[in-house]
């Protein structure tokens, strides 16, 4: 699969090159700071990376400072997850730019459904075209609390 890259004024980079992911930094954030993946084992993070389309946010000093992954068939559907920007880089428009890069990825232009879960960033996602679900009666789920899943590993 071909890697894609976007460059922002100031030298920030978004890339789909999985080699740019700092797994230790990502795992630390997800397992200790995120509200959706607390205590997630590193092996699960690695498996998610292996089976997803990954987007890394890289600083001008070539440091890994943000991430998002997309679970997609690249034809009809995508699920956005694990969106993260390092605290000291928040409030600078980098999260929005990361998401714009994802939406502009050339292989994702004809998807008819994008989904995500968010507890606190509705405004950001709405600016990018996301809206609250309107047909809740058509969507179903199987849900296992993370604590139940991760305890078995």
Domains in the chain, start-ordered, CATH in brackets? 5-150 (3.40.630.30)
Q: What is the DSSP letter of 113?
A: E
pLDDT single digits (tens) 119-144? 888 878 888 788 888 887 888 888 77
- What value does the mean pLDDT of the chain take? 91
% residues pLDDT > 70 (the chain): 94
Supply the pTM of this predicted model: 0.90
pLDDT at 147: 59
Determine the pLDDT at residue 88.
Answer: 95
pLDDT of residue 124: 80
Distance CA 78, CA 104 (A): 13
* Residues 20/5, Cβ–Cβ less than 8 Å: no
pLDDT, one tens digit per residue, over 16-71 is 999 999 999 999 999 999 988 989 999 999 999 999 999 999 999 999 999 999 99
In angstroms, rounded to a whole number, what is the distance separating the alpha carbons of residues 53 and 14?
13
Per-residue confidence (pLDDT) for residue 51, from 0 to 100: 96
* Residue corresponding to tokens 């630390």: 28
> Strands across the sheet with 5-8, in order?
5-8, 12-15, 53-58, 64-72, 77-85, 113-116
Tokens 């590193």 map to which residue? 42
pLDDT confidence of residue 153 = 46
Residue 47 in contact with residue 88, Cβ under 8 Å?
A: no
């Amino acid at each position: 699969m071909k890697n894609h890259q976007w460059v922002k004024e100031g030298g920030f980079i978004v890339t789909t090159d999985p080699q740019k992911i700092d797994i230790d930094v990502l795992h630390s954030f997800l397992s200790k700071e995120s509200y959706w993946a607390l205590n997630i084992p590193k092996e699960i993070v690695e498996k998610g990376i292996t089976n997803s389309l990954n987007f890394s946010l890289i600083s001008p000093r070539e440091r890994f400072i943000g991430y998002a992954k997309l679970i997609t068939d690249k034809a009809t559907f995508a699920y956005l997850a694990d969106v993260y920007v390092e605290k000291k880089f928040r409030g600078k428009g980098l999260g929005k730019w990361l998401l714009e890069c994802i939406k502009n990825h050339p292989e994702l232009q004809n998807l008819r459904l994008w989904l995500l879960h968010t507890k606190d960033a509705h405004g950001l996602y709405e600016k990018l075209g996301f809206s609250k679900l309107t047909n809740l009666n058509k969507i179903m789920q199987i849900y296992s609390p993370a604590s139940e899943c991760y305890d078995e590993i």
